[in-house]
Structure 1
Amino acid sequence: MSSLEKDIKINSGNVELDEKIQEWIDWDKNEKTLDEIKSLVLLGDYETLKKRLLCRMAFGTAGLRGKMQAGFSFMNDLVIVQTGQGLVTYIKKCFPNKVDQQRGVVISYDGRYNSRRFAELTATIFINENIPVYFYSKLTATPFVPFAVYHKKALCGIMVTASHNPKEDNGYKVYWENSAQIISPHDKNIQNSILKNLNPLPSSWKTEEAMKSSLLHDPYDEMFKLYFDKLQATIPPKFYKINEEAQLKIVYTAMHGVGYPFVQKAYEISNLKPVHAVIEQRDPDPEFPTVKFPNPEEGKSCLVLSMKLADEVGSDLIIANDPDADRLAVAERDSRTKEWKVFNGNEIGSLLGWWSVKCFKEAHPNVDDMKNCYLLASTVSSKMLKSMGKKEGFNFEETLTGFKYMGNRSVEFMEKGNQVLFAFEEAIGFMVSSNVLDKDGVSAAAHLGTMASYMKLKENKTLCETLEYLYKMYGYHYSLNSYFLCYEPEKIIKIFERIRNWKGEKDSYPSSIGNYKIDSIRDLTAGIDTSQPNRKPLLPSSKSSQMITFTFENDTVLTLRTSGTEPKIKYYSEYCAKPDENNWKEIQDKLKDIVDKTVNELLQPTENGLIQKSD
């Protein structure tokens, strides 16, 4: 019952807004968010109400993610109920057979505010439709949801998390029956189904009854054991003894998230020395009190406490998960400079990709076995795996940005009898083996620790030295990636349209940046690739996001794109050298110059008020 019991007079002068305000007052059963809207009405703040109620949060391939507050364009109980009703209706349409429906769904949640509440509301809606729910009883690392979908043969999986977003945010991530994240057309079909099921049923709010249902099952203990049995099987037996002998000291931070108990178990079954956990960040805390952004991808600014602990315990290696433990960051004290090097996602991907191939070869000494092996990376990630594949004999393929594409592509390869050894994206997301068809920071942490132990004990190399060894073997791959914040969507569109209509000429792109000539341009928003005979890109295009890639005559590749979950314009660049090119400093300087000139000429950050990422 709302604390604002007085009659609310709605008279905004906008018929559509008045209707939406009345809908919210009639439908919302959460006292806090109901009072938020009523208070805005009493204040006559109709401009804020327009922003909150006239624009609806769209369900996309990333599901839902946004700020937690009242309104149809934010994360709250009512939006979750509407989403759940739309999702269950779509699931029943896709699986009309009652026997199929008994396969159930998997649901879990992280340690953010409202995460368990949103998960319980979702579970309630499925139980009301007589569909069983595998509901994790404890906070769970995100990879355990797709893992359970696969092993329970469930219809879908739902993880309530906003990953590494600020504390004010939450999200709703959906996996399909193949255990990979949903892709089109499921996202569009779910969105349409939500819009047809907006009126919340009274039963959708009755979580207490549903959470006592016989249709509710807790998969935690079973999946916990099975996951680590499967992880253990991916590590060749000889490395267990090496891990035990190396006794590598590793500092670990969970970034106030859920990762610690899972990484702790991963190290135990791998015979790795227990991690030295950063106590202040070890346990879940929705306030994220020690970090401004709980995203280890931000670099040293997120690892201050980890570096302090490493100094205290005498560790030269740090690993970090993001709050839902599906990503992995790595830092190492360079033995030569004594400075901390925070590896970027491309560097970690190169190391773990090479290690995955090495582990496979340990178990499969027949060189012909590599012919059926695939390694994947997103199109904005390093091409290091491609260079490795040419020399080692495995197959490499790039996909659109996001693990939803790599996961679904992995399913297609596996259905044809191929093995997917590894996949990664530069945003510190790694899929080591096909046990989980999504990025998995827990298994990646175990394999990273195993690789570091082996290289120290058997090769007397640090990870920095191992990376240099790989560059000498496969060619120096140097990348510079960052982003600008831009909170005005119209401005972002204007920036990209200016690039597409260069110097006022329609459908014309830059032919050079500074004194660097552009060889080809791929625009996956407009569906153009000038390197192809028919000018059609090989990868799918989509008008819902901005993405343009420039390939320069010196083989530098630079991509500008918008984020699907944050107000960012991101840029990715890489120079791929041949193994005999040893002028690494010259390559670094040249790529930096190309990036600086591209950013200044195309994005015009000063003129457009863009905010540069700071570390």
Structure 2
Amino acid sequence: KMEDGLKPTGDTKLDQAIRQWLQYDRNPKTKSLVQDMVKDGSMEALKKCFSSRMEFGTAGLRAAMGPGISCMNDLTIIQTTQGFCRYLEQSFGNLKERGVVIGYDARAHPTSGGSSKRFAFLAAAVFISRGVPVHLFSEITPTPFVPFTVSHLGLCAGIMVTASHNPKQDNGYKVYWENGAQIVSPHDSGISKAIEENLEPWPASWNTEEALKAALLKDPFQDVNTQYFQAIQKHCHHREINKKSEVKIVHTSVHGVGHTFVQSAFKAFDLHPPYPVEEQKDPDPEFPTVKYPNPEEGKGVLTLSFALAEREGASVVLANDPDADRLAIAEKQLSGQWRVFSGNELGALLGWWMFHCWSEQNSDAAAVKNLYMLASTVSSKILRAVALKEGFHFEETLTGFKWMGNRAKDLLDQGKSVLFAFEEAIGYMCCNSVLDKDGVSAAAIAGEMISYLATKNKSLSQQLTTIFEEYGYHISKNSYFICHDQEVIRSLFERLRNFGGKKDAYPSECGRFSVSAVRDLTTGYDSNQPDKKAILPTSSSSQMITFTFANGGVATMRTSGTEPKIKYYTELCAAPGNSDVTHLKKELDDLVDAIVENFFEPVKNKLQPKPE
């Protein structure tokens, strides 16, 4: 029988999970939500909350806030942090000397009493109860401040409580290792195991009031706020131009944390402050003016920014996602229309600019051999073309900044210079004081690039054309289908691996396009390698196949780690001199249509297209 006179549901496993929950949970809101579900016999809702624990992956946790083991709430945060703390104790003999940093955004969920700040305070209480020093930010910060602090203070780990650009009901728990980069495996499974072994809250884990008074608790806010803006100034090369610049720029933080920090970054570069979008500049967990707080969704999120730009006569809009680790840019065209650049186009512009500034500073011709740029394998290959021509190194990593951050650290440790890294999901690492994507430093660096180009009477669009004409056009088209059925996803990819009913045979053509190479990072196969083995790490738990076509096209199909999507990324790379853009675009459109029709089979598989 359950306590509080509640009737059992009849499902033994579920009853056991509920009983344990009611015994452990001390948050009155989540506790009563669970009791009400039991009273009302809401089996579906109970199963949703208690069927499976949130999976702790390399990106940490990301889920809706609410009651139960499948959601983000006080108890699951305590359990997660206890596991993480135990894992750190096993990994570091000097954890109690070095400590950890904890940051948070402005998300909140009144119904369940959860908020990023509350979760951060609970995480701090867990560490302090074990005698571990905690650097807990006293105010909301951008995500990049956490990896910056890990490196700056030489800490063992960092935690950022944020769900980035997810819908408002979600939250997340992102983890950084001592090297200042996001964790990679096997840390995720090690932490998962430790969480399972430490589910019962430790006596002092709930005690946030004591923890906040503890001598072990420090507030790094002032120090980091000063040091960060000092660190990014090594990428400010045109102070005089910035001071005199007439360019007007609008900035939106989309109800997230970015506003004050981007203002400070512009100030650090002596740029005129950007015009903030008033309705969106203050943090608001309800995100009232946007459907999704994701600037990647393009024009819908930027409507208010465009209106402000028209009123102020500004030609460029910068937008951060709510935790300010990503950056979108739009520019007014001569036609009066606004052009929102893709992450790949911004990667080309920022990569060009970082190299341009580097070249101006470095006259030694041999130094370029020590220089590296990185991009994820589903991002544009434009930097590879630049690297070939200019003589620096370009490397691809798996999808996600955890791979680029860790690879950058390895290269820096070998005495190499890592100038820039990017991914097509509008993430950029322009300053290696942060080994992760950073939308704050990228905003200031973009501001300087825009001001510099203005002195040459050039727009961003014109500069992008110049880059493509010099290094070859790289035109990309990315999208996704929504699919909630894991079995459909599995059979779609298995069909491609056993094409035409032949075992272990991939398609040799797709409509009128012939396939010249296949790389499957789920199985580790790569037709281009002499031993047919892929160089990049493989992961059997996620689907990812890349097709190279005879016409210079590349297409990757992969499942998303955080959403019910099958994504595709396509690019046509032309040689320098081939500048018939209309023809290239049509060729890419035709290729995408063929891939959708022949490889995705959306009608047969009942896939929902990306909502327009």
Q: TM-score range by the shorter chain?
A: over 0.9
Match of 2:215? 214
Q: Percent identity?
A: 52
- 1:59 correspondence with 2:49: no
- Paired residue for 1:365? 363
Give the Cα separation in 2 of the matches to 1:610 and 1:278.
Answer: 37
2:388 to 387, 390, 394: 390
Task: Report if the CA contact (8 A) 1:575-1:587 is conserved.
Answer: yes
Shift of 1:120: 0.6
Q: Give the aligned partner of residue 44 of structure 2.
A: 47
> Residue 469 of structure 1: CA displacement?
0.3
How do residues 225-304 of structure 1 correspond to structure 2 at under 5 angstroms? 225-236=226-237, 239-304=238-303
TM-score, scaled relative to structure 1: 0.97
Aligned residues: 605
Q: Which residue of structure 2 aligns with residue 519 of structure 1?
A: 516
- The answer on whether the counterparts of 1:481 and 1:572 sit within 8 Å (CA) in structure 2 is yes
One-letter amino acid of the counterpart of residue 315, structure 1: A
Q: What's the counterpart of residue 112 of structure 2?
A: none
Contact 2:3 2:19 in 1 (8 A): no
CA deviation vs aligned residue, 1:86-144 (integer Å, no higher than 9, x gap): 000000000134xx422110001001011001101100000000000000001100000
* Contact 2:78 2:201 survives alignment (8 Å): yes
2:376 corresponds to: 378
Work out whether 1:16 is the aligned partner of 2:17: no
Deviations 1:420-466 (A, max 9, x none): 00000000000002111000000000010100110111x21100000
Q: CA-to-partner distance for each residue in 1:253-276, whole Å, 9 max, x for gaps?
A: 001000010100111111111101
1:19-168 to 2 correspondences below 5 Å: 19-97=16-94, 100-113=95-108, 114-168=115-169
TM-fit CA distance, 1:25: 1.2
Q: Does structure 1 retain, via aligned residues, the 8 Å contact 2:326–2:438? A: yes
1:332 and 1:463 in contact (8 A); partners too: yes
Partner of 1:582: 579
SS in 2 for 1:204: coil
Q: Shift of the alpha carbon at 1:42? A: 1.6
Amino acid in the other structure paired with 2:87: Y
1:6 shift after superposition: 4.1
Query: What is the identity, as a one-letter code, of the residue corresponding to 1:286?
Result: P
What is the Cα deviation at residue 5 of structure 1? 8.5
Counterpart-to-counterpart distance in 1, 2:413 and 2:573: 32
Work out the CA distance in 1 between the residues paired with 2:478 and 2:58. Answer: 23
Measure the CA separation in 2 of the matches of 1:314 and 1:397.
40
Cα distance in 2 for partners of 1:490, 1:217 equals 49
Deviation, structure 1 residue 339: 1.3
Secondary structure (helix, strand or coil) at the match of 1:550 reads strand
Q: Alignment RMSD, CA only? A: 1.3
Task: Check whether the contact 2:159–2:173 (CA below 8 A) recurs between aligned residues.
Answer: yes
> 2: distance between equivalents of 1:554 and 1:502?
21
* Alignment of structure 1 residues 497-508 onto 2, 5 Å: 497-508=494-505
Partner of 1:491: 488
Q: Gapped runs of 5+ residues in structure 1?
A: none
Residues 235 and 359 of structure 1 are in contact (CA less than 8 Å); yes or no, is this contact kept in structure 2? Answer: no
Rounded to whole Å, the distance in 2 between the matches of 1:22 and 1:499 is 46
The question of whether the paired residues in 2 share the 8 Å contact of 1:248 and 1:272 is answered with no
State the alpha-carbon separation in 2 of the partners of residues 36 and 523 from structure 1.
45
| 1:195-210 alignment runs, 5 A limit | 195-210=196-211
> Structure 1 residues 491 and 33 mapped into 2: Cα distance closer, same or farther (>3 Å)?
farther
Paired position in structure 2 for 1:179: 180
Partner of 2:546, secondary structure, is strand
Q: Is the 8 A contact 1:101 1:155 kept in 2?
A: no
Match of residue 325 from structure 2: 326
* More moved, 31-40 vs 223-232: 31-40
**Which sits farther off after the overlay, 498-507 or 52-61?**
498-507
Hey, what does 2:458 align to over in structure 1?
A: 461
How far apart are residue 606 of structure 1 and its match? 2.9
> Counterpart of 1:116 in 2: which secondary structure?
helix
How far apart, in 2, do the equivalents of 1:332 and 1:317 lie? Answer: 5
Letter in structure 2 aligned against 1:373: L
Instruction: Report the alpha carbon displacement of residue 587 of structure 1 after superposing the two structures with TM.
Output: 0.7
Q: What is the match of residue 421 of structure 2? A: 423
Q: Please, which moves more after superposition, 402-411 or 37-46?
A: 37-46
In the alignment, structure 1 residue 565 sits paired with structure 2 residue 565:
no
Contact 2:571 2:588 in 1 (8 A): yes
AA aligned to 2:357 is C
Distance of 2:391 and 2:309 partners within structure 1: 39
Q: Determine the structure 2 residue equivalent to 1:611.
A: 608
The residue aligned with 1:533 is 530
Cα distance in 1 for partners of 2:168, 2:232 equals 31
The answer for the alignment partner of 2:440 in structure 1 is 442
Cα contact 1:106–1:134 (8 A) shared by 2: yes
The alpha-carbon deviation at position 247 of structure 1 amounts to 2.4
Match for residue 549 of structure 2 among 535, 548, 552? 552
Give CA-to-partner distance per residue, 1:67-96, whole Å, 9 cap, x none.
Answer: 111111111111111100000000000013
Structure 1's 186 and 6: CA in aligned 2 closer, same or farther, altered over 3 A?
A: closer
Deviations 1:468-488 (A, max 9, x none): 000111000000011122233
Report the alpha carbon displacement of residue 507 of structure 1 after superposing the two structures with TM: 2.2
Deviation string for 1:33-54 (max 9, x for gaps)?
Answer: 1122222222222233223212
- TM superposition shift of 1:233: 1.9
CA distance in 1, matches of 2:535, 2:336: 45
CA distance in 2, matches of 1:492, 1:214: 52
**CA distances 1:400-425 after superposition (whole Å, capped 9, x unpaired):** 00000000000100011001000000
Cα distance in structure 2, aligned partners of 1:185 and 1:5: 39
- Deviation per CA, 1:132-189: give whole Å up to 9, x if none: 0000001100000000000110010000000000001000000000000000111111
CA contact (8 A) 1:109 1:161 kept: yes
1:306 maps to what in 2? 305
Query: Residue type matched to 2:462 in 1?
Result: E
* 1:518 match: secondary structure: strand
